[in-house]
Amino acid sequence: MKARGARQAKAQAKLLAKSWNRGYSRLIGWGGRMQLKMEKRVVDGVTVIACKGRIVFGEEALALREMIRGLVPETKNIVIDLMNVSHIDSGGLGTLVGVYTSARKQGCMIRLANLHERMSDLLQMTKLLTVFDVFDSEAKAVKSFSSSVGA
């Protein structure tokens, strides 16, 4: 029974990721309560994923993973804007590390932008600030791709 539910959740996340990859924004949640909303746009050739809500273990983390997995073949530069993320748990952190690692293996760079103080502290405590390229703003993160080309 659990395996069937997991397969259904994964299939639903893949469908949602496909529609996000077509430029739509989607909402994930139960009973009308928002958990995670993602909006994809392209700024100066860099794909920006603006997240709003919570990145937590379950459908939210799976949807983020599937969305980025769908983008990696077509883009090499991604910024994940976390300005409007209210909460991230260990499952969400694990998802960020996982997508970062798999994207790097495929030649894609992921940068994080607009971390609030609690999230920055969490990344500091877990030593993940040494793993991720983190920027104060989306604009700085996007610009960093053009400056790293000449480096």
Tell me phi and psi for residue 141, to 5 degrees: -65, -45
Residue 52 Cα distances to 3, 23, 84, angstroms: 29, 16, 5
**How many domains is the chain partitioned into structurally?**
1
Question: Is residue 147 very low, low, confident or very high in pLDDT (cuts 50, 70, 90)?
Answer: confident
Per the structure, the complete domain to which residue 96 belongs is given by 2-149
- Per-residue confidence (pLDDT) for residue 95, from 0 to 100: 96
Separation between Cα atoms, residue 7 and residue 62, nearest integer Å: 12
What CATH number has the domain bearing residue 72? 3.30.750.24
Q: Could you read off the pLDDT of 27-46 as tens digits, one per residue?
A: 444 444 548 999 999 999 99
Q: Is the pLDDT of residue 10 over 50?
A: yes
Assess contact for 81 and 29: CB atoms under 8 A. Answer: no
Predicted confidence band at 14 (pLDDT cuts at 50, 70, 90)?
A: low
Residue 22 pLDDT exceeds 50: no
